[in-house]
Amino acid sequence: MTASGEAVPESAVTGMVWPALPGPQHLNAFAVLFQIEQSQWWSAAEIRASQLRQVAALIAHAAAEVPFYRDRLAGLIAPGADAVDEEVWSRIPVLARAEVQEAGERLNARSLPAGHGARNDVTTSGSTGRPVRIQSTELAAHFRTAVRLRGNLWHRRDYDGKVCAIQRLSDAHRRLMDGGQRLGWASGYATGPIVYRDVAGPADDHLAWLAAEEPDYLITYPTTARVFAQRALERGVRLQRLKEVDTMGEVLDTDVRDLVRRAFGVPVADIYSAREIGVLAIQCPEAEHYHVQAEAVLVEIVDDAGRACPPGAVGRVVVTPLHNFATPLIRYHVGDYAEAGADCACGRGLPAIRRVMGRTRNMVRLPNGVRAFPSLDGKALAQVAPLRQIQLVQKSASEIEAKLVATRPLNAAETVRLGAAVGRMLGHSFPLRLVYVEEIARAPSGKYEDFRCELEG
C-alpha cells in the first residue's frame, strides 16, 4: 500500500519495483480489470449491446463445436453476425439444471479457440440433488479474478489487512494449510495473510479463534455471521481490528446486517455467486443491493413466461457466462429466484438485483397451493423464545417441523408466541411440531437454510 492507502500490484520482475510488472498469470486479469473499471460507468444500453456482441461469438462457437447446441441453436443467427438481436435472444430456450446433468459430455466443446488456455473440471456441491459437472478454462478464470478484484476496489479493502475465512474447506484449502504455505487473498497484489478454518464446530470455539487471530476482514456464510454476532453480544466479545464482514454462499437476511453492526461496529458486504458460474453480482459500495458483473455474465430475472421482470418483481435467475467456451451455459436457470432492482443512484450502468430470494425449496407452499418466500427474521424469533438456532422444514401441506437449538425447552406461552411469529413470517398459521436438537447440520456445501420445503412438485 502507498502512503495514501492505494494498493500497488506486486512486481514479478526483479528490480522492477515501480511501476510494477505483474507475472504473466496476472496480466490478463489486470487487462480485464482496467477495462471493466471504465465500462461500469457506461449506460445500461451500451453494456447490453456489448453483451449481445459477445453472445454472438459464444453462440457461433457453441453451434459449431458443442453437440448439445447443434440443433438447439440452428439457424438462430446468420453466419458472421456481430451481435444477437433481442428478439432472437428471447427465443433461445432456458437451460434447466436437469438438462445440464443429462447432457453430460455433450455440453463440452470438442475444441476451443486459440488463447482460451487449458480446461479444468468444475463440480457443484449437489445441494439441489445430483451435482452439475462442467468444464471451464484459464481464460474464464481471468474474468472471475478481475471481478473479484473490482469488488475489493469498490469496498476499498486494505490489502495489508489479515483475512479470516470460516467456511467449508475444500481439499485444496486443506493441502495449502497442511503445507504451512503463507497465502495472500488478492491475485497480483502483496497482501496480508488469509487463514482458513472449517465451519464445522461450536460457534464459541470459532469466536475465540477469531478473537485470537484479530482479523481485519471475516469471510463466512450469512447464517454463521449471525450466530457469531449473537454470541459476541451475549459474551461481550469485540473484534478490535475488524473492518468488514464479507458474506457469501447463502441468502443474506436483513437482520444479519443489523446484528453484525451492533456486535462489531462494521458493515456487511455480500457477494452472489454460483460454483458453476463464478461471481454473478457484488454488493454496491454505496447501497445494500447488488450490481450484476455484466462484463463477465449476462443475468436475466424472468417470470414464468420468460418475460423480463420489472424492478420490484421476483423471478427466476437465468445466467449466461460470457467467456466460458469449454461448456457454454446459454440462458441457464441456476435454480435461484431474485428481485429485480432499479437503476442505481451510484451512477453505474450495471444491472441491479435488489435481493436474492433463494431456491424453489426455500419457498413455503400455502394451503391454497401458492408458493411464496417466507420472510424469516431471526432477531424477532429470538425475542419470543430462548433460541440459538431454528430451522423450519415443511414436511406436509399442513404442518411445519421446527428444529430448535434452545437454551432450554420452551414453555407453553413461548410456544404460542413462536407459533404466532412463524405464522406471520410464513403467511399462514401452520401447526408447529417442535424438535429439540443439539445442533442443526449444514449441507455438504457448508450452506445452511432457515427454511426448506420437502414437498414434491
The tens digit of pLDDT for each residue in 216-227 reads 999 999 988 998
Considering the segment(s) 22-157+243-358 as one domain, its CATH architecture is 3-Layer(aba) Sandwich (3.40)
Selected residue with higher pLDDT from 210 and 22: 210
Mean pLDDT of 146-152: 97
Residues 222-225: contacts with CB within 8 Å, 24+ apart? 222/247, 222/249, 222/250, 222/251, 222/252, 222/253, 222/256, 222/268, 222/270, 223/250, 223/256, 223/448, 223/450, 224/166, 224/199, 224/448, 225/256, 225/259, 225/260, 225/268
Q: Where in the chain is the domain with CATH 3.30.300?
A: 363-453
Between 273 and 83, where is the model more confident? 273
Q: Pick the closest to residue 76 from 66, 95, 62, 97 (CA basis).
A: 62
Cβ(268)–Cβ(252) under 8 Å? yes
Mean of pLDDT values over 418-439: 89
Helix (H) or strand (E) holding 191: none
Distances (CA, A) of 119 to 82, 131, 400: 26, 19, 45
CATH of 363-453, one of 3.30.300, 3.30.70, 1.20.5, 1.20.1250: 3.30.300
Q: What backbone phi and psi angles, to 5 degrees, belong to 439?
A: -155, 145
Tell me, what amino acid is at 151?
G
Please tell me the least confidently modeled range out of 46-50, 80-84, 326-330: 80-84
As a whole number, mean pLDDT of residues 196-200 equals 88
- The chain-wide mean pLDDT, for the chain, equals 89
Does the pLDDT value for residue 46 go beyond 50? yes
The predicted model gives 180-200 an average pLDDT of 85
- pLDDT confidence band for 165 (50 / 70 / 90): very high
Give the model's pLDDT for residue 451: 85
* pLDDT score recorded for residue 128: 46
CATH code 3.40.50.12780 region(s) in the chain: 22-157+243-358
- Comparing CA positions, the residue from 383, 394, 399, 391 lying closest to residue 436 is 391
- The pLDDT value given to residue 324: 98
Q: Is the pLDDT of residue 60 over 50?
A: yes
Measured in Å, how far apart are the chain's first and last C-alpha atoms?
54
Nine-digit cell string for 279: 461471481
358: pLDDT strictly greater than 70: yes
- The predicted-structure confidence for 94-146, as pLDDT tens digits, reads as follows 999 889 999 999 999 999 999 999 999 998 865 445 688 999 999 999 999 99
Give the pLDDT confidence score for residue 446 in this predicted structure.
63
Cell numbers at 253, concatenated = 437476511
Q: How much is the pLDDT for 2? A: 54
**Residue 6: which pLDDT band, with cuts at 50, 70 and 90?**
confident
> Residue 27: what pLDDT?
92
- Highest mean pLDDT out of 3-7, 232-236, 356-360: 232-236
What confidence category does residue 182 fall into, taking pLDDT thresholds of 50, 70 and 90? low
